Amino acid sequence: MKITQLLGMTALTLTVAACTTNPITGRKSLQIANNSEIEAMALQQYKQTLSTSKVIKGTTAAKSVQNVGLRIKNAANNYYKGIGREADLAGYKWEFNLIQDKQVNAWCMPGGKVAVYTGLLPISQNDTGLAVVMGHEISHALAGHGNERISQAMVAQYGGAILGSSISNGQIAAIFQQVYPIGAQVGLLAYGRKQELEADQMGLYLMGMAGYDPRQSLPFWNRMEAASQGSSRPPEFLSTHPGPENRMAALNENMDKAMTYYRAAGGK
């Protein structure tokens, strides 16, 4: 049997055995890595990043990051509890920090470790803009996108060895380092386009559940796109991020449901 056929059979077996269903979007994904181990490694990475960064405390912007993060966290907790899947979030130890850095970026590590860079603030402009991007990044963690990427790397690198549980902790840690690079670049990992669009969808719903107007996601992403003008942007088929037209189309497609959540939270 050819190696490619063997790997294909291994991937199929693992997919059947460890297929995870996203409770918000219904998307299924392969997640075979141990979440507790991933969250422990994420915590270590997060602490290291904060220790080498200027973390801003007590300012209006820092308080906004805290408040928006807590509202989205509470919305997620309420949703998962309402469908009987609160155990999914049992290992989360949420933190929301604002980092002094000109990067236009924010990220959420597995286990709820969130960082927002000050370079994002001129684009987010207000709490609702923060809710767009923080909802998106938190959704990556809630959806287990890190576990999915690690699982894909495990299958690609070790194939059938996974079935025999012969992969060492050191090998898993090495894969984690590939997925979540050390230092300031930790938030710049490349998710797949399906994962990015899923995070858009989930983030849209979560911001609505938290009482933020989902319609404001459209001008936010327009501002983000305008900020990227002048920089080299690869064609969509070469990029892990969806093109702006596809992103807007997907947001509009999911807007009615997001508005239902928003109105249920008291929005108009």
State the Cα–Cα distance between residues 66 and 63, nearest whole angstrom: 5
pLDDT band at 84 (very low <50, low <70, confident <90, very high): very high
Beta bridge partners of 28: 21
- For the chain, counts of helices (H) and of strands (E): 10, 6
State the Cα–Cα distance between residues 179 and 145, nearest whole angstrom: 10
Q: pTM above 0.75?
A: yes
Nearest to 160 by CA among 17, 6, 30, 33: 6
Q: Return mean pLDDT, the chain.
A: 84
Q: What angle do CA 166, 167, 170 make, to 5 degrees?
A: 140
Reported as a single tens digit per residue, the pLDDT across 17-66 is: 468 899 999 999 988 888 898 899 899 989 999 999 999 999 999 999 99
Domain locations in the chain?
A: 11-264
